[in-house]
Structure 1
Amino acid sequence: MKLYFAPGTCALAPHIALEWASANYDTQGVKLGDPVYLKVNPLGAVPALEDGNRLMTQADAILKYIAEKYPEAELAAQGTIDSNYELDKWLAFLTGDLHPAFYPYFSPGRYTVDESEEAYAKVRQAGSLLIAKFLTHLDHHMKGKNHIALGKRTIADPYAFAMLRWAQPLDQYPELKRFFDSMMEDTGVIAALKMQGIK
């Protein structure tokens, strides 16, 4: 397998999952928008994962693929309807709510045709309010918990961790800070960060 990533993006999540699964894989760092990478993934987004002749995209789908390919790593739900829903709910929250909330902050030009700094500042402000809303929700959820879902390590943990890196510092969110600090001590997380050149 080969994981395509850009350092610091949500591609960090499947990278950590591959480490947790003790998978045999290679990595390829890419520059977003690079014409060479666009031949691999025409949308230009990361992560992308090659496994044989198959190219997979979308972080949550790749995370599920890794969890199912390496069941011995126990990163998926337990196979019951309730556990499947619980994990899917939090993956959907991370993909559909928290992750997009950062887009206006990092790329305000996507959301306005006014290219003035004043307009960009307003877009970033709106994004910051959304980020705070979703971080507050996740912080409340994490009270008394060590993992995002199911009371155990799952693919939701590295996905949340990747986004919490963008939200530093987490002083306003003590439960998320506790979770983040714990993840920073994990050997798989440390290995993935080192391979991506992230401190």
Structure 2
Amino acid sequence: MTEQLVFYTNPMSRGRIARWMLEEIGEPYRTEYLEFGTTMKAPDYLSVNPMGKVPAIRHGDTVVTECAAICAYMAEAFPQAGLGPTAVERGSYFRWMFFAAGPMEMAVVNRLLGFEVPPERLRMTGCGSFANVMDTLEQAVTASPYIAGDRFTAADVYVGSHIGYGLNFNTIEKRPAFIDYWSRVSDRDAYRRGNELDNAAMPKQANT
């Protein structure tokens, strides 16, 4: 019997990344919507994620939080979807997925908050400068059609989501390479299904 897959989310959150991944793997799952500051901080959900944030998934007795981890876990747990890396792709797959989760997100959030790291302390940040992150990201998305090689993988769900969000909300530079990559990776039925589901849930969430 297949273990139950439960998805904890809010449509106005990074849960959209996990939703896209869930739609890609094509397995049945149950969605539990949570509200910021209330049900997300309630004891029931804190027993799932003590951070009190979404997304999270429960797969049988296994709980996974953090979007990069969710994407990597589901690719491995459901290999029939073909979203995990081959031996040749493995290095780039993990390299760029965690680049987006670490240096990229840190640099983007710092800039969004107006925090400028003094040049002499850039070595302490772990991400370097925003410009360096953008240049590195551009190299990553132009080295091959997809982030790990010639085919779409779970790393494209994660890296692509960051780029798509950044282009939409002007938190990253609108370089042609980013626009081209995002157009390529988002042209998928699973992405469109996930968006439709979350968009349909937003009015209900916004008015409660």
TM-score band, normalised by shorter chain: 0.7 to 0.9
Q: 1:11 aligns with which of 15, 26, 37?
A: 15
For 1:133 and 1:154, how far apart are their aligned partners in 2? 25
For 2:174 and 2:198, how far apart are their aligned partners in 1? 28
Contact 1:143/1:175 (8 A) holds in 2: yes
> Are residues 140 and 71 of structure 1, via their aligned partners in 2, closer, same or farther at CA, if it must alter by over 3 Å?
same
Contact 2:11/2:199 (8 A) holds in 1: yes
Alignment of 1:63 with 2:71, yes or no, is: yes
Whichever residue aligns with residue 99 of structure 1, its letter is E
For 1:27 and 1:105, how far apart are their aligned partners in 2? 33
Contact 1:13/1:59 (8 A) holds in 2: yes
What per-residue deviation string (whole Å, max 9, x for no partner) do you get for residues 173-195 of structure 1? 11110121233331111111111
Identity of aligned residues (%): 22
> Which position in structure 2 is the counterpart of 1:99?
105
For 2:186 and 2:179, how far apart are their aligned partners in 1? 10
> Are residues 161 and 7 of structure 1, via their aligned partners in 2, closer, same or farther at CA, if it must alter by over 3 Å?
farther
For 1:94 and 1:9, how far apart are their aligned partners in 2? 17
What per-residue deviation string (whole Å, max 9, x for no partner) do you get for residues 65-101 of structure 1? 11112111111111x2x53222111122111111222
> Which position in structure 1 is the counterpart of 2:61?
53
Whichever residue aligns with residue 89 of structure 1, its letter is R
Residue 9 of structure 1: CA displacement? 3.4
Superposition CA RMSD, Å: 2.7
What is the TM-score when the length of structure 1 is the normalising length?
0.77
What per-residue deviation string (whole Å, max 9, x for no partner) do you get for residues 145-190 of structure 1? 3211122111111111221233125773111101212333311111
> Which position in structure 2 is the counterpart of 1:178?
180
For 2:110 and 2:182, how far apart are their aligned partners in 1? 23
For 2:80 and 2:129, how far apart are their aligned partners in 1? 37
User: Gapped runs of 5+ residues in structure 2?
Assistant: 118-127, 203-208
> Are residues 24 and 53 of structure 1, via their aligned partners in 2, closer, same or farther at CA, if it must alter by over 3 Å?
same
What is the TM-score when the length of structure 2 is the normalising length?
0.74
Residue 105 of structure 1: CA displacement? 4.4
User: Gapped runs of 5+ residues in structure 1?
Assistant: 109-120
> In structure 2, the residue corresponding to 1:160 is in which secondary structure?
helix
> Which position in structure 1 is the counterpart of 2:123?
none
For 1:181 and 1:134, how far apart are their aligned partners in 2? 21
For 1:138 and 1:71, how far apart are their aligned partners in 2? 27
For 1:3 and 1:131, how far apart are their aligned partners in 2? 33
